[in-house]
Structure 1
Amino acid sequence: MAEGRSIAERLSGAMERRDEAPNIALAEEIGASGDKAAVGELVELVRIGTARQRNDAMKVLYEIGARNPDLIGGYCPVFLEALGSRTNRQVWGAMQVLDSVAELRADEIAAELPRIIEAADRGSVIAKDRCTSLLTKLARSGYAEKAVPILVERLKTAAPNQFPTYAEQTASVVRPAEKPGLIETIRKRLETITQRAKRERMEKLLRKLNG
């Protein structure tokens, strides 16, 4: 790596920084160079590093995933294991990584959906957002039969602020078999939506689904 320093030494925590700029810069560099050895070091830090190292390394890895998912796709088992962490940041960070490689590793990720769903259910809004995104990608990658019913079911209990976005994402991959259930769910939830902008979004989506 550049600057003659190890990966661990270039993380935000090691530099006594409270911001993420060093982590993002490192991710950009590794993503552009395709440095597999550096990715391996980051993954090892996620597994056995200090709490701060684990969080910083996960941040770098999901930033790499956003730029060059091929580099990190082979480490899905590590990220799936991290979903069981007691640290919320590890959970949503791992979910972001898995979302970034969902199309590349559809078979592997689809096989672990129960673990992913369980982590999303006890996780933060970010974890739930990424789970919905991951499910839509699986639906487009040959797993619609498995993913779409889960998406429709999760809409029933989605938080009001997230519901419109999740509904739109689900509608983008819905199959004829699940469309009536999706329409019914949106209609029921629409009764409880008071914000005008959100109501208009959902009314527009219903017109599209009924069209």
Structure 2
Amino acid sequence: MSVIEKLSTSLGRRDEVPNQELARQIVQKKDTNAVQELMSNLNHKSKAIQSDCLKVIYEIGALEPKMIAGNADELVALLSSKNNRLQWGAMTALNAIVLEMPGLIFEQLPLLVAVAEKGSVITKDHLMAILIKLCSIPEYAASAFSLFNEQLMSSATNQLPMYAENAVPVINESNKAVFIKTLNSRIDEIEKESKRKRVEKVIKKLFASRIV
């Protein structure tokens, strides 16, 4: 049975379990040929097959980033797709390989930001995760944080607490003041009390700690 025949769509399934199981099988077998078969079918005539292939690809990336890192250029190219599913799926896959291909992804940040600003919430979530990971790499930290903070200033209030919490590990003495200022400037915009308290908790935590 070919890789394509094992996809959820091919099996007449509407859930993602077959795709997730296929990803695990490919990782366990270190089946690089299967990865290339999935990549080659991202332009399949069936959009359902395209979507399932990309789902398996980013599930592989979550388990073993190295197995899809070599396809970074092809994944970046998918960001220009008019198919929203492929667009956010590609951003998901790129998020999985940031630490494997930081230079390539850093160079593509203008495109990633442009796509995320026009894309879905999922696309934006993965952009912010990509920027946070780049902030953990000294070579890209300053530029990545600047972009992250810029996005934070205009992000949806519903997502703001998650972005703030996820960024805490990469906040240091050089960016802490700016980060806190941005969060403080947006607190009054957050209508839901539980979400506002999450942001306030992040601010208090940073004020109480001495970051190296």
TM-score, scaled to structure 2: 0.92
What is the letter of the counterpart of residue 121 of structure 1? E
Q: Contact 1:45–1:53 (CA<8 Å) still a contact in 2?
A: yes
Look up the SS of the partner of 2:170 in the other structure.
coil
Which residue matches 2:21? Answer: 25
Match of 2:168 among 158, 168, 171: 171
What is the letter of the counterpart of residue 156 of structure 1? M
> How many pairs does the alignment contain?
207
- Taking the aligned partners of 1:45 and 1:30, their CA distance within structure 2 comes to 16
- Taking the aligned partners of 2:38 and 2:132, their CA distance within structure 1 comes to 28
What is the letter of the counterpart of residue 184 of structure 1? K
**1:39 is aligned to 2:12:** no
Look up the SS of the partner of 2:132 in the other structure.
helix
Cα deviations by residue, 1:25-47 (Å, 9 ceiling, x for unpaired): 11110011110000000010114
Deviation at 1:175, TM superposition (A): 4.0
Match of 2:178 among 181, 198, 205: 181
Deviation at 1:49, TM superposition (A): 4.8
Question: Gapped runs of 5+ residues in structure 2?
Answer: none
Look up the SS of the partner of 1:46 in the other structure.
coil
Which residue matches 2:198? Answer: 201
Q: Contact 2:158–2:190 (CA<8 Å) still a contact in 1?
A: no
In the superposition, relative to structure 1, how do residues 193 and 204 fare at CA in structure 2: closer, same or farther (>3 Å)? same
Which residue matches 1:137? Answer: 133
Q: Contact 1:61–1:97 (CA<8 Å) still a contact in 2?
A: yes
Look up the SS of the partner of 2:18 in the other structure.
helix
Cα deviations by residue, 1:159-182 (Å, 9 ceiling, x for unpaired): 111001112223331343433222
What is the letter of the counterpart of residue 73 of structure 2? P
* Aligned residues with identical type, % of pairs: 37
Look up the SS of the partner of 1:24 in the other structure.
helix
Which residue matches 2:9? Answer: 13
- Taking the aligned partners of 2:149 and 2:168, their CA distance within structure 1 comes to 9
Q: Contact 1:148–1:175 (CA<8 Å) still a contact in 2?
A: no
| Structure-to-structure mapping, 1:1-211, within 5 angstroms | 5-142=1-138, 143-211=140-208
What is the letter of the counterpart of residue 129 of structure 1? D
Q: Contact 1:148–1:170 (CA<8 Å) still a contact in 2?
A: no
Deviation at 1:89, TM superposition (A): 0.8
Which 10-residue stretch deviates more, 16-25 or 111-120?
A: 16-25
Q: Contact 2:88–2:123 (CA<8 Å) still a contact in 1?
A: yes
Q: Contact 2:165–2:202 (CA<8 Å) still a contact in 1?
A: yes
Question: Gapped runs of 5+ residues in structure 1?
Answer: none
What is the letter of the counterpart of residue 170 of structure 1? A
The Cα RMSD (Å) is: 1.4
Q: Contact 1:152–1:170 (CA<8 Å) still a contact in 2?
A: no
What is the letter of the counterpart of residue 20 of structure 1? E
What is the letter of the counterpart of residue 32 of structure 1? Q
